[in-house]
């Protein structure tokens, strides 16, 4: 009998699939590895949250760990994982050197979630009221940290084809270190649309997004100040419901029922909320990665109006399930048209089915990923031999991280 393979996932937070796309992404990764016969342990130094998933129901072992503590070393030695998956580059920085020191043979995988340096550089350019240039990435400190983390790992999971292009062409990362893994969903056909609420049974516009994520807060501000007044002027009966986990007081202050602008807070079931809406509005002005809210809209048969940033790398060469528009006045006009034109609305639904079929089928990616991980388990030595820059960064960069961590650990004991 083959020995059970062990996967250790070190999480930035405990997964909350109903709060964020990142939580849903983590559930997909757990599903892929579980189906490939891995025994999975999920460890995190984060505090428990009210909305975290019950990992035990998934057959996943939950382990709370400490930052800057030798107790993690003991835990690693006892578990002796075959594969370690880091949830974002900050986690690899914190724990990667300990994994190398205690379990040098373990395959190290980084799930980037999205390119943080791209999101940060775009946000900075937006706040400085200038056009983002690709060269902006090279001056970001977070880019140096993130790219170093990618180089140190055996494999990095990249969620966006646009970000794959940036890593290969701008940062000159070898394709052998990267694996394109978008959001993964079940098959959907046009027949499935018949099981969803009909055009006439839906009402209102909706936006949904975790408010701990800065692009979401900025999107709601933009909706309130620049787009919603134009929609209400030409469509007085219009209602927008804004849902999202962790709304702050500044978000709640935008609640204005007299103007049809409702801040609804956390959605108990985001899927049901989106299914009942007629149109999703997502005028996202900066960010990176893929937008889980827009893929969810497609699955719910709910057309959307978004920006080029929102639709980036999400639909290949296929027509969008609604409209993509940057100008706020045109955005408002398209939002009204999509809401009122039933034939256009139904065609947009069909566009979504085609996008899901071409871009997000689980079977197109999951088997390839597990086969790649299995090959790395068999011959990691040869793979690492060809990643000289990664070994160089391990040698130098980890020394500073390691000694800082050990200094904090010693300080905490005193």
Give the DSSP letter string of 299-364. Answer: HTT--EEE-HHHHTTTSTTSPPSEEE--SHHHHHHHHHHHHH-HHHHHHHHHHHHHHHHHH-BGGG
- What is the SS3 assignment for 206? strand
* Token representation of residue 414: 């005193």
pLDDT at 291: 96
Do the Cβ atoms of 323 and 353 come closer than 8 Å? Answer: no
3-state secondary structure labels for all residues of 286-307: CCCCCCHHHHHHHHCCCCEEEC
Residues of the chain with pLDDT under 70: 1-2, 395-403, 414
Tens-place pLDDT, residues 210-234: 998 999 999 999 999 999 999 999 9
Tens-place pLDDT, residues 358-410: 999 998 899 999 999 999 999 998 999 888 888 887 766 556 666 677 777 77
CATH number of 190-359: 3.40.50.2000
Fold of 5-184+362-413: Rossmann fold (3.40.50)
pLDDT at 120: 96
Torsion on CA atoms 371, 64, 98, 111, rounded to nearest 10: 40
Q: What is the pTM of this model?
A: 0.93
In angstroms, rounded to a whole number, what is the distance separating the alpha carbons of residues 405 and 414? 15
pLDDT at 1: 37
Burial class of residue 238 in the structure, from the number of CB atoms within 10 Å of its CB (0-12 exposed, 13-18 middle, 19+ buried): buried
Domain with CATH 3.40.50.2000 in the chain: 5-184+362-413, 190-359
Neighbours of 144 (CB within 10 A): 14
pLDDT at 408: 77
- Residue 322 pairs in a beta bridge with 304
pLDDT at 395: 63
């Amino acid at each position: 009998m083959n020995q059970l393979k062990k996967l250790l996932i070190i999480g930035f937070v405990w997964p909350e699939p109903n709060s964020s796309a990142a939580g849903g992404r983590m559930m997909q990764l757990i599903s892929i590895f579980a189906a490939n016969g891995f025994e999975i342990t999920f460890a995190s130094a984060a505090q428990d949250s009210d909305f975290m998933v019950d990992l035990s129901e998934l057959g996943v072992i939950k382990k709370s760990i400490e930052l800057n503590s030798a107790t993690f070393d003991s835990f690693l030695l006892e578990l002796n994982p075959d594969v370690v998956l880091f949830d974002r580059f900050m986690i690899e920085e914190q724990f990667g050197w300990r994994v190398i020191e205690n379990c040098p043979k373990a395959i190290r995988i980084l799930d980037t979630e999205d390119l943080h340096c791209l999101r940060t550089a775009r946000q900075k350019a937006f706040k400085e009221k200038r056009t983002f240039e690709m060269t902006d990435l090279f001056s970001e400190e977070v880019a140096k940290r993130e790219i170093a983390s990618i180089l140190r790992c055996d494999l990095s999971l990249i969620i966006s084809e646009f970000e794959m292009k940036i890593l290969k062409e701008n940062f000159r990362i070898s394709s052998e270190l990267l694996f394109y893994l978008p959001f993964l969903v079940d098959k959907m056909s046009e027949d499935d649309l018949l099981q969803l609420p009909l055009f006439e049974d839906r009402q209102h516009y909706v936006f949904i997004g975790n408010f701990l994520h800065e692009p979401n807060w900025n999107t709601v501000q933009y909706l309130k100040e620049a787009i919603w007044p134009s929609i209400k002027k030409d469509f007085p009966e219009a209602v927008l419901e804004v849902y999202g986990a962790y709304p702050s007081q500044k978000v709640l202050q935008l609640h204005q029922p007299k103007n049809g602008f409702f801040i609804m807070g956390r959605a108990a079931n985001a899927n049901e909320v989106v299914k009942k809406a007629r149109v999703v509005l997502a005028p996202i002005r900066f960010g990176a990665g893929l937008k889980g809210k827009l893929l969810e809209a497609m699955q719910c048969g709910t057309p959307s109006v978004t920006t080029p940033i929102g639709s980036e790398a999400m639909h290949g060469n296929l027509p969008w399930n609604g409209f993509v528009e940057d100008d706020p006045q045109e955005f408002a006009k398209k939002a009204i048209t999509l809401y009122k034109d039933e034939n256009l609305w139904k065609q947009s639904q069909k566009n979504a089915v085609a996008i899901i079929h071409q871009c997000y089928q689980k079977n197109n990616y999951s088997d390839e990923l597990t086969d790649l991980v299995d090959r790395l388990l068999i011959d990691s030595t040869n793979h690492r031999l060809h990643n000289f820059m990664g070994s160089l960064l391990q040698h130098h960069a980890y020394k500073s991280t390691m000694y800082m961590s050990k200094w904090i650990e010693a300080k905490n004991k005193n």
